[in-house]
Homo-oligomer: A and B are copies of this chain.
Amino acid sequence: MKQQAIFKALADPSRRRILKLLRNGSKTAGELAEAFEFSAASLSHHFAVLKAAELVRTERRGQYIVYSLNTSVFEDVSGLVMELFAVREEKR
């Protein structure tokens, strides 16, 4: 798990928005792009950051590249947040 990559990826509002768009199912890069006013290139950069954090997964489908949420990282992220706030257990 790439803790730093995850937090860094989540720090940008556009990237969080991409994640939210993916909650209800995969989308192609182009479909996602419709929701933004950025150039496709900029979006692509954001995808790369999300991918580096393993928050999304990709799959080529013909001409298209399909992005989907990697929900298995969700537990990692939750765990990281817990870890930041939870009082540490006594050693025993």
Given contacts A7-B11, A8-B11, A11-B8, contact A20 B84 (CB under 8 A): yes
Asked whether, in the complex, the Cβ of A81 is within 8 Å of the Cβ of B78, the reply is yes
Name A's interface SS.
Answer: helix
Q: How many copies of the chain does the oligomer comprise? A: 2
Q: How far is the CB of A87 from chain B (nearest CB, A)?
A: 6
Interface size, chain A (Cβ < 8 Å) = 24
Residue ranges of A at the interface with B (Cβ–Cβ < 8 Å):
4, 7-8, 10-11, 13, 16, 19-20, 23-24, 69, 71, 74, 77-78, 81-88
4 other contacts beyond A4-B13, A7-B7, A23-B88, with CB at 8 A cut-off?
A: A7-B11, A7-B16, A24-B87, A78-B81
